[in-house]
Each structure stands twice: as C-alpha cells, then as structure tokens.
Amino acid sequence: MKELKLQGQTPSGIWHIGGKGTTNPFCGRTLRVTWKKTWGGKPAGTQITGELAATFCVNGRTLIGELLVPARNGGRHKVSAPWSRNWIDVEILS
C-alpha cells in the first residue's frame, strides 16, 4: 500500500462492484473522492471524504459507490458517486 500511495496510484480492487454475496474489499474504509466531471449535480473538483458503504450496479450499466459522510446534525448521510476511474479520483485515507 505504501508504494501505491507514493506513486499516486489507486489499487484496482477499489473498483470492484458488489453483487450477490460479494462486497467491495474497501467497504468500511475512509476515502476521499474527487469528481473529474460534473455528475449528480456536483461540479468537477468536488471533494467528499467519507466511509465507503457499498458499490453496486444500476440498470446493468451505471456503477455507483455510496459514501457515508458526517451530517450537520451529528449523524451520517449517504452521498452517491459515479464509481469509475473515468469519473472520480479516489484516495484511501484509512
């Protein structure tokens, strides 16, 4: 992991999509996600830091990642992100 961090690369396993009885190996880890393009009303350059809750496929085409981020009321809420290396950059924080 240290070598990947030094090189600025993201491990390929981060892009795994959960399915029947499988989960992304990075679920539960804290990530910083940066949008490369506008998606879901969020402009390019938007940064979200949160815990990866799930990754899944919608309509057989759209890959989604859900992050749990701190809410203003002290709880957490989900933020959806396009789960593709073409749309986001991912940095693993813990």
For residue 12, what pLDDT is reported?
Answer: 83
Helix (H) or strand (E) holding 2: helix 2-7
For residue 10, what pLDDT is reported?
Answer: 79
For residue 49, what pLDDT is reported?
Answer: 95
pLDDT digits (tens, 9 = 90+) for 56-83: 888 877 889 999 999 988 889 999 999 9
* Share in percent of the chain as helix, strand, coil (round to 5): 10, 45, 45
For residue 7, what pLDDT is reported?
Answer: 46
Cβ–Cβ < 8 Å for 17, 55? yes
Domain count for the chain, please give it: 1
Judged by phi (left if over 0) then psi (alpha if -120 to 50, else beta), residue 8 lies in: left
Instruction: Residue 35: give the domain boundaries.
Output: 2-92
Euclidean distance between CA atoms 24 and 18, whole angstroms: 5
Positions in the chain whose pLDDT score sits under 50: 1-7
